[in-house]
Structure 1
């Protein structure tokens, strides 16, 4: 469950890329059987939906049409999206709203901590929109949120999924100093697709960010993920694996890109389950502690269970 805590409006910032348009009415091929999921109908899903509605919360799970919403909401898995629901960038794959962000809510870290407590979360994921308008990209807000959760829920493990903090010197260090258990930053795609898919980002800056986390605090698990089906070649995916391992990244996720609307980048092809299994096998041989590669893999899917497996994998190496 991805929950957005609302913020108060403030001075608007005009986004660099005002529209998320790869090309008008981009058409994707029909979804194959392996990418289809059943409509959610469980009691747990209904209970989570009621909590969301009763508290006036907005969820990316619904807005993005996440295929795992039924499973995750049934288990009350939660990923909190902080710093508002409006992004300063317009990546061609993402369905999050682009526009003029509001001011940060100084009380938001406490709200997130309280929600974590009420939901009884053993592992929580905190993400955000890009906030290029802020001098630190929202780094201190991330750090305050981590500290608030630690104070309210000391037994809860914390995973963060951050923006790239591009051109925000020192931002990464502020977040890492708050000591999240897992630091995730997604590359999203291979370098050759950045201009079309992630034009506001820089591939090697993202690699360096992940590497820097380990330099600041080697005890923090690092994690990154990409989508496939955007026109990449297999050898490019393998090169991404090598680049991430050179940065000592622990956990790799690979999932199928799904087009949110016709105004977003089209799906170039649907990668088969056998190909995903092949990627996972190769990634393990390259030294990742954890790999999740499947059509429905998403960054925060099974995050709690995966964290336990990460801990066990590291412990096995130490022994």
Structure 2
């Protein structure tokens, strides 16, 4: 799963089944107390409730809820939601991820139509569609991604569409299937530096994720490409700089950088909370390396302000074209 996560700080009721039974055997990994700059208000209000009701009515899942995103209150107040397709059970068990691991159910053929209806009801000008990892499917869920893009395009033609995909484990034709549906933005998060992949993202391979982004750029040169990183897991600034270089070599336009937040004590611990001024330094470094757009702050997430960022990306490309 390619998103960021946080803990709600609650203790587990032993009478309630664990959301992450695959992690139950792990020892507790306490994180440092959250600093003041990481705290946000709980999502409340009539609009927040209405968005949640719309998701329940449509039988849809959102990254906002499944990832316990700290920005849910802000985004849902603006009637924005990031949709998570292909169910709420992931076939991988990444150490940072709040999505449950297990054996997913069958693909819901009616989901694209219901998703498109929700996008139209919310009046979205830009939508982010992501998914759980579906290593159980022959195409990794690529055809379902494409069906969702086409349904949204048909139901709301003026809406720009951003897909945040898994790596598809190199399944032949998967990337081509998604790109054939013509999304406006192709996003795949590297999440962390190569050294930390074995402990943080053991089901994935850094080089494969990087190659996916490069291939998306090669196959669709006019497509906007995007990736995201979590910090606070023990990476160094030198390692982050190397990842930025790799992303630029792959032709990635837009980089997001946000603070990792531990979902439960069984997940990877936060090594440190990165101060806001350090995020500013990362942003300056990334811009100097040639990214068209950079979002870097403690609460930055892949889909946060994605509508505004897409407009900024288009303007940045237009300006670069005029300057040539």
**TM > 0.5 between the two?**
yes
* Matched residue SS, 2:163: strand
Q: Does 1:199 align with 2:202?
A: yes
- One of 163, 170, 177 as aligned partner of 2:173: 170
Indicate the residue corresponding to 2:212 in structure 1: 209
Indicate the residue corresponding to 1:75 in structure 2: 78
Q: Give the Cα separation in 1 of the matches to 2:58 and 2:134.
A: 25
Given the two structures, how large is their TM-score scaled by the length of structure 1? Answer: 0.91
CA 1:22–1:259 in 2, change beyond 3 Å: closer, same or farther?
Answer: farther
- One of 253, 256, 262 as aligned partner of 2:259: 256
CA 1:138–1:115 in 2, change beyond 3 Å: closer, same or farther?
Answer: same
How far residue 140 of structure 1 moved from its aligned partner, in angstroms, is 1.0
- One of 106, 121, 128 as aligned partner of 2:131: 128
- Between Structure 1 and Structure 2, how many residues are aligned? 304
Indicate the residue corresponding to 1:272 in structure 2: 275
Alignment of 1:1-319 (within 5 A): 19-20=22-23, 23-53=26-56, 55=58, 57-319=60-322
Report the aligned-residue RMSD.
1.8
* Matched residue SS, 1:19: helix
Q: Give the Cα separation in 2 of the matches to 1:279 and 1:140.
A: 36
Instruction: Show CA shifts across 1:193-220 (max 9, x none).
Output: 0000000000011111000011111111
Q: Give the Cα separation in 1 of the matches to 2:57 and 2:223.
A: 36
Q: Give the Cα separation in 1 of the matches to 2:109 and 2:75.
A: 29
Q: Report which stretch shifted further, 281-290 or 37-46.
A: 37-46
Given the two structures, how large is their TM-score scaled by the length of structure 2? Answer: 0.90
Unpaired runs of 5+ in structure 1?
Answer: 3-16
The answer as to whether partners of 1:22 and 1:92 remain within 8 angstroms in 2 is no
Q: Give the Cα separation in 1 of the matches to 2:152 and 2:54.
A: 20
Instruction: Show CA shifts across 1:17-68 (max 9, x none).
Output: 9824794111000000000112233443233234345555554423433111
